[in-house]
Amino acid sequence: MSSIGILSTGSYVPERIVSGDEVAGPAGVTAEWIERKTQIVERRYAAPDQATSDLAAEAGRRALDAAGVAAGELRYLIVSTSTPDSPQPPTSYVVQDAIGATNAACFDINVVCSGFVYALALARALIAQEPGALVLVVAADVYSRILDVEDSKTVVLLGDGAGAALVGAVPEGGFLGMELSSHGSARHLIRVEAGGSRVPVSHDTVDEGGHFFRMDGRGVRDFVMENVPGAVQALVERAGHKLDDVQHFVPHQANGVLLTQLVAKAGLDHAHTHRTLELYGNTGSASVALALDAANRGGHLKGGDLVLLAGFGGGMSLGATVLRWTPAR
């Protein structure tokens, strides 16, 4: 059977640029403080009439256009998001209708910032049992709708965006290995407490800010530093390589200072670490996908390059994959 890999990528960010000054005042900090603590200069916010599916659909179209594939050729459509348009129907069904993927079976997944890599793993498994299938993976989040503008731990970090990858058979290379892990005992580190079946939306939950995104930044940093370096090293070694062989590292764009520390601890200083957080901030599930598309469209990824993707975040979760990059179709 042919190898399975990424055939093309796409991404989309909203037009509205939100500066550090705009979020700094209500959060009680300064733009200088934000840049020093996070290295994020600006982020994008969706327009009032844009939902997660709108961003996802545009990113998906761009990935399909890059491969010269029609939406009707898709067998599966997977949307990774933790900010769906609504509890029901699945956001993937809205995207399916928007792009005309009438022959695709669709579903959503929610693994927060690791979701793109988890979705790639699912796409790989689907193609393995159905050779020749094409799977469109789209990761999108609109965090601007669930941010507390007075919470400096979160509002300074997060933005909106979407990224996509078309997955299918490749003549050689492609995915060499996957690493997925879940740590439910640490689920309190990143959360939206109200709005589900345990704490339904009510006037009280809204008044108390229960529908806002909350995060324990120090706890997240400790989780990342304790778990990600060893996981990516083990993954690369299982794939038959050494860390020194990795040419491109595409991590979740959580925080610039954290990424610098992670690269050093993981022994990936030699690799080209692709970053988009300075301009887009942390876009949740879309983060790795956005950075991958920027690297691809920027001409940085060449056929045969060894590429390491790593997502980490809410759950807590970790998703990583190493692949041999395939030349554009």
Q: What is the average pLDDT across 236-240?
A: 96
Q: What is the pLDDT of residues 96-110, one digit of tens each?
A: 999 999 999 999 999
As assigned by CATH, the class of the 3-172 domain is alpha beta
Look at residues 262, 219, 43 and name the one whose alpha carbon lies nearest to residue 142.
Answer: 43
Whose tokens are 């699945």? That residue is: 90
Nearest-angstrom CA–CA distance, 158 and 84: 16
Mean pLDDT of 214-223: 94
Dist CA 11 CA 69 (whole Å): 16
Sorted by sequence, the CB contacts under 8 Å of residue 158 that are 6+ apart come out as: 43, 143, 144, 147, 213, 281, 282, 283, 284
- pLDDT for position 327: 74
- In the numeric block, the tokens 């990516």 are attached to 232
Model confidence at 241, pLDDT cuts 50, 70, 90, reads very high
Task: Compute CA distances 108 → 118, 266, 303, whole Å.
Answer: 11, 31, 31
Contact 77, 138 (CB under 8 A): yes
At residue 127, the pLDDT reads: 97
pLDDT above 90: percentage of residues in the chain: 98
Note the pLDDT tens digit of each residue in 284-294: 999 999 999 99
Q: Is 56 left (phi over 0), alpha (psi -120 to 50) or beta?
A: alpha
pLDDT for the residue 219: 95
Which pLDDT belongs to residue 329? 57
* Active-site residue list: 113, 252, 282
**Segment 52-63 mean pLDDT:** 98
Q: What is the pLDDT of residue 159?
A: 97
Taking residues 49-76, report their average pLDDT.
Answer: 98
Q: How high is the pLDDT of residue 197? A: 92
Number of CB atoms found within 10 A of residue 216's CB:
15
For the stretch 157-173, what's the b/e string if a residue is b when 16 or more beta carbons lie within 10 angstroms of its beta carbon? bbbbbbbbbbbbbbeeb
Strand order in the sheet with 105-109: 3-12, 160-170, 135-142, 76-80, 105-109
**What's the pLDDT tens digit per position in 165-195?**
999 999 989 999 999 999 999 999 999 999 9
- The pTM of the full predicted model, rounded to 2 decimals, is 0.96
- Each residue's pLDDT tens digit, 4-16: 999 999 999 999 9
Name residues whose C-beta falls within 8 Å of residue 129's C-beta, 6 or more positions apart in sequence: none
Locate the domains of the chain by residue range: 3-172, 176-324
**CATH number at 176-324:** 3.40.47.10
Q: What pLDDT, on a 0 to 100 scale, did the predictor assign at position 328?
A: 63
Q: What is the mean pLDDT of the chain?
A: 96
Distance CA 190, CA 187 (A): 6
Show the 3-state SS of the chain. CCEEEEEEEEEECCCEEEEHHHHHHHHCCCHHHHHHHHCCCEEEECCCCCCHHHHHHHHHHHHHHHHCCCHHHCCEEEEECCCCCCCCCCHHHHHHHHHCCCCCEEEEECCHHHHHHHHHHHHHHHHHHCCCCCEEEEEEEEHHHHCCCCCCCCCCCECEEEEEEEEEEECCCEEEEEEEEECHHHHHHEECCCCCCCCCCCHHHHHCCCCCCEECHHHHHHHHHHHHHHHHHHHHHHCCCCHHHCCEEEECCCCHHHHHHHHHHHCCCCCEECCCHHHHCECCCHHHHHHHHHHHHCCCCCCCCEEEEEEEECCCEEEEEEEECCCCC
Mean pLDDT on 234-261: 96
C-alpha torsion sign, points 238, 242, 245, 246: positive
